[in-house]
Structure 1
Amino acid sequence: MGGLYHGKILLHWCDSCHTPVLSDRCSCESRTRAVQVTPPGDARPAFPDDIEFVNRIYEEQFGMSIIPEGQIALLNKVPDNDRMEEIVVGGAIVGAIRYIPAKGCWEALPRPEAALIEKPKRRFIVIDDGAVMSVKDGRSLLAPGLVFCDPSVREGDEVFMMTRSGICAGVGRAKVDADIAGKMERGQVVKTRKNIPSTYVPGKATWDDAVRANADILAKAEKASGKFIADHIGPYEHLPMSVSYSGGKDSLATLLVVMNTYRKLPILYIDTGLEFPSTEENVRDVQRQYDLMCVRIESRDEFWRDFELSGPPARDNRWCCRTSKLEPLRRHIIESYGEDGELVSFIGQRKYESFSRMKNPRVWRNSYVQNQVCLAPIHTWTALHVWLYIFRENAPFNYLYMHGVDRMGCYMCPASDVGVLEKIKSVHPELWQEWEDAVSIWMEKNGISKSWFESGKWRTRGDGAA
């Protein structure tokens, strides 16, 4: 699993506090150890629903849980065809999960360290002592090295390869069914998957413990963001200002930083009519808790007007952003401040989010909204910085994060992975039904097969559907 570096991977682990730390030293003064996650390394907390979801996948496939009760866990999104996330527990990468759109299911990809947490009860193989070093070196398991194959193993399954003494020597993908494996005298039984070894140190901790462990790092990050504002706001001090607020974690952290290091400003929220109900609630909660003015831009009609002409937006044809957000914002600035008026917006953009955002400057003007000056105070923060800061401030965040959805915005955004859209369907079936009905009507008018939507091809316009 390769990945692009968007910046230095900062994730470390304190074995004294049993928490993630974003530096080589914990606030408890202990040295930490690096966690070798796949870049870009923008790991996030695993919330209770995430933990239940991951454990259910591993229970179904291996008869085991992979995240013990009371231990902090992280999920690190890695490059793949769709959604794939590494699972970090006890400072070790103990496995991953990935969504397979063609099968409509999630697959568990364990690492040997997972067997230190709990032994697999299904999909495991016992190997001969003479094959242990070969498997540990990354070579495939051949038939002479097989002692026992769990009857549930099927060709293509991920399996644990256990020693006679119950230690995991490696993991890999079965090349044959269990009944065939038991009869083989030669040939490949399991193709071993090479993994970078990591150290698992069990220990219970809470996210409050993690905030304390990162206290110095958070203070430093806040100070640096405040300095960025102080260094760059001068030429724009005379202009009206706001914090662009989406109901997501990054805009919330940006709001907190601006309030803590600069001053209280209004929040600017664009209501496209496509947001989650929890987003609307969060906007009200934040406005009420911090006694903020909310500048609300309504753009509910624009999307459906252009939808009739263009069909659903796609990853390579995101007309929706300009229609539902940029144009209403540009129009609002002109109506509020005049043809030559300008607005300063603090925006929760981070370089660890994507390669394109990594390359973006921290002060810029959108090519379409030239009358908006944008500043990104938390550009260098990771997702873990953001979450720990929110936890430190005890700020009200969008509760949809607690249900395994890690990306706020429009509920049917084509930039979302299919695996994420499936989660959204389960959390908000009524919203997805509304979207499916609208797309079905448009497809019927344009003579497009239902399979185009059902297969997820609507998310990419390159298929020639429109």
Structure 2
Amino acid sequence: MSFFERMWPIRKKLWWCPTCNVPLVKTRCNRCNTEGISLKLTAPGDARPGLERDEKALLEAYVNEFGTKSGFTDFRGSSILLLNKVPYIDEMREVVSDGIVICRIYFDPYIRKWRLRLSKPGVLRILNRGIVNTFEVESQKFLRRLFRIKTSRVFRKYEQIVLTHKGEPVGIGYYENGYIKVHSIYPRTVADRISRTNSSINDIIRANENSMREFISKALAFIDVTLEKTAIKPIVSFSGGKDSLVVLHLVLQLGIEPTLLFNNTGIELPETIESVHRTARKYGLNLVVADAGNAFWNSVEFFGPPGRDYRWCCKILKLAPLSRTIKSTWNDDILNIVGQRAFESLDRARRPRIWRSQWVPRVLCTAPIHTWSQLEVWIYIFMNKLTPNPLYEMGYERIGCFMCPASTLAELELVKNTHPHLWGNWTKILNKWSEKLGVNKEVWIEYGLWRWLAPARHKQVISRKLGSPEITNEWRSTYELWIENIIDHIDSREEYIHVTFKNEIPHNAVEAQLPILGIKEVKRNSKGVLSIKLDHNAEAEIRGKDLILMFKTESDFENCMDLLKLLIRWIACQQCKNCELSCLVGAISVKNKPVVNSSNCIHCRLCLRVCPVAEVYVEHLVIPLIINTPLAWRRPCREGFEEVLSKITTLLSISKKVEERTAEMFRNRLRKVEDNFAAFFSLMNK
């Protein structure tokens, strides 16, 4: 078992009916009552049925690999296909046909085409057709992965070669410069298929009908009990994707007509927006749209392209409009029923089925199909004749922002082909930033290296193979160019940091923000130097364009960084209003720039944690230059979000107790005054 597979806390088990030749979600076939054979899939096993576009992709990969369609029909098999995503530098899927993994199809990022890697059953289906080249090895005993076999035979560069021993396939390798590098070693015995019966989507439905009723009844009961226990108004977060469509239909089955909440990030594909509105009209439901408008296109000029490790976009396009819309639409707590599934990511796999939103605390979220696989989701859609987003048939597996940095190169290539106008708009932004940063335009844009900010492993592998290692090696110069509109120079030494800004630092603006840090000791001398006492061992001075920070401990360093964040946030405020929307005591508002009400502020610094400028731009671009590591945001001394929430709880609790004590003292004093007045009037009457 690989390290990746061991990481998954939850996995999906699937079976195959040898009689009906279809996948099963439970051990027994509901159609013929045959015991299913367990499928061996890579974790987490979130397989889905193949659609028409998957058939085309498999054929395309086959032709790209072998240069012919000959033998494809027998290779493809008789059953409906099942596809399971597996780890790879871009996109790779196991392909199951007739109950056996016949190959893996993958998008080669270097040639930007779909290719195919044969499994032993796949080899057995085409071995005697002369489609694939073979190489006879003397012994299988010493064959190891990455082992290089010297050969005088000449093959195409990176051609897939089947390794045989006494005519039996024992593995595959790839040819390069006179050597065959072993990639996979095959097991000694394996069948090429479980069944030869033709099967379709309808056969899958009949074979899983009763099993699906069990899944459905459990999901309905979960929703019903959650509604009863919480007694909170329900809404459904509807993204236009298949999972939220299934959740919506489940809620409707209970006779509930929920309000739909759609987060339009402003960079959704038009089919998604139309699908959301069409679904709302079909079921006669109220649709509330949290609309980010043009926020992305306005902010990308400052932030630059978002990355997998530089997700400023989520705070501006999701957190801000959702917080604003929820606050303005619902006065009380709401139960947000979502289509999240455990197998989508490790983060979601570790999340419970019910949780409180960390960003909008009065939103309670619940995921009724948390343990469903894609196969179960699609069977439900086919059973109930639902109309999914047309993007799925166009080849999309993920519905969301069209240029999300989490996308694979295969997905971005699809956007480029299906929506050239939108992709053209994004390419203009990438061209502008590649020129600003002085990077190799073809490598950075065409091979999608903009999807990472720091020199991540995949970014390093691709850039080196393409002969542009400087894209990752020279990260400091890239970061310096990235922030040059704000900062001219950074000089960092032990216990001392000197930051020179592009423009003079406004003293009044700095002083107005200091209540957030709980700072009261501020001095200004005759030379115009502003001195700030941050802590016992931490100080700051502001002289014209220069900010000088001095510290002793890690805690002092973090206080200095928070002051730096406050300053840059004020200079580069994007007016997303996350700080204003998230403040629990109403101590901050945004009027072109952040304005702090010092009498209300409890110094929790939550407003810094939700700010895309402070928490993403400064953390991922500025602080790395200070401590000389692109992964500065992972430093152990950095305050985590959970720590901030814990601190807020404590501060609010103390504040409440102080208020209660003050009120009690006032009541006691009032009683004494009343007693004194009563005594006075008593004496007067005598």
Length-normalised TM-score, structure 1: 0.86
The farther-off stretch of 1-10 and 26-35 is 1-10
The farther-off stretch of 116-125 and 384-393 is 116-125
The number of residue pairs the alignment matches comes to 444
Match among 108, 116, 120 for residue 116 of structure 2: 108
SS for the counterpart of 2:13 is coil
Q: Which residue of the partner structure matches residue 23 of structure 2?
A: 20
SS for the counterpart of 1:462 is coil
Q: What whole-Å deviation, never above 9, does each CA across 1:290-334 have from its counterpart, x for those lacking one?
A: 232222222122222221221121111212122112211111111
Q: Which residue of the partner structure matches residue 125 of structure 1?
A: 134
Q: What whole-Å deviation, never above 9, does each CA across 1:124-173 have from its counterpart, x for those lacking one?
A: 21649xx5xx54996699999x9x97x7x335322234688xx7523311
User: What are the residue-to-residue correspondences of 1:147-226 with 2, within 5 Å?
Assistant: 153-154=155-156, 156-161=158-163, 169-175=169-175, 191=182, 193-195=184-186, 197=190, 200=193, 201-226=195-220
1:139/1:316 CA distance change after superposition, 3 Å: closer
Q: Is the 8 A contact 2:296 2:317 kept in 1?
A: yes
User: What are the residue-to-residue correspondences of 1:388-427 with 2, within 5 Å?
Assistant: 388-427=379-418
Could you tell me how far 1:446 is from its partner in structure 2?
5.9
Structure 1 position 435 matched with structure 2 position 442: no
CA distance in 1 between counterparts of 2:157 and 2:170 reads 17
Q: Which residue of the partner structure matches residue 185 of structure 1?
A: none
CA distance in 2 between counterparts of 1:392 and 1:237 reads 31
CA distance in 2 between counterparts of 1:244 and 1:136 reads 56
Q: Which residue of the partner structure matches residue 468 of structure 2?
A: none
CA distance in 2 between counterparts of 1:192 and 1:415 reads 27
CA distance in 2 between counterparts of 1:176 and 1:414 reads 32
**2:282 partner amino acid:** Q
Structure 1 position 330 matched with structure 2 position 339: no
Q: Is the 8 A contact 1:138 1:192 kept in 2?
A: no
CA distance in 2 between counterparts of 1:425 and 1:168 reads 43
SS for the counterpart of 2:72 is coil
The farther-off stretch of 450-459 and 24-33 is 450-459
CA distance in 2 between counterparts of 1:142 and 1:7 reads 37
* Structure 2: 5+ residue stretches without partners: 456-474, 483-686
Q: Which residue of the partner structure matches residue 308 of structure 2?
A: 315
Structure 1 position 32 matched with structure 2 position 36: yes
CA distance in 2 between counterparts of 1:87 and 1:138 reads 26
Q: Which residue of the partner structure matches residue 568 of structure 2?
A: none
Q: What whole-Å deviation, never above 9, does each CA across 1:382-418 have from its counterpart, x for those lacking one?
A: 1111111111111000111112210010010101112
CA distance in 2 between counterparts of 1:226 and 1:27 reads 21
Structure 1 position 53 matched with structure 2 position 28: no
Q: Which residue of the partner structure matches residue 357 of structure 1?
A: 348
Length-normalised TM-score, structure 2: 0.60
Q: Is the 8 A contact 2:140 2:165 kept in 1?
A: no
Q: Which residue of the partner structure matches residue 250 of structure 2?
A: 257
CA distance in 1 between counterparts of 2:45 and 2:191 reads 16
* Structure 1: 5+ residue stretches without partners: 181-187
Structure 1 position 453 matched with structure 2 position 445: yes
Match among 214, 237, 243 for residue 236 of structure 2: 243
1:289/1:169 CA distance change after superposition, 3 Å: same
SS for the counterpart of 2:172 is strand
CA distance in 2 between counterparts of 1:107 and 1:73 reads 17
SS for the counterpart of 2:210 is helix
The farther-off stretch of 81-90 and 281-290 is 281-290
Q: Is the 8 A contact 1:218 1:385 kept in 2?
A: yes
1:73/1:307 CA distance change after superposition, 3 Å: same
1:7/1:143 CA distance change after superposition, 3 Å: closer
1:135/1:111 CA distance change after superposition, 3 Å: farther
1:195/1:259 CA distance change after superposition, 3 Å: farther
Q: Is the 8 A contact 2:30 2:210 kept in 1?
A: yes
Structure 1 position 73 matched with structure 2 position 81: yes
SS for the counterpart of 2:185 is coil
**2:173 partner amino acid:** R
CA distance in 2 between counterparts of 1:192 and 1:69 reads 25
Higher-helix-fraction structure: 2
Q: Which residue of the partner structure matches residue 184 of structure 1?
A: none
Could you tell me how far 1:437 is from its partner in structure 2?
1.1
Could you tell me how far 1:271 is from its partner in structure 2?
1.6
SS for the counterpart of 2:329 is helix
CA distance in 2 between counterparts of 1:335 and 1:442 reads 37
CA distance in 1 between counterparts of 2:126 and 2:447 reads 37
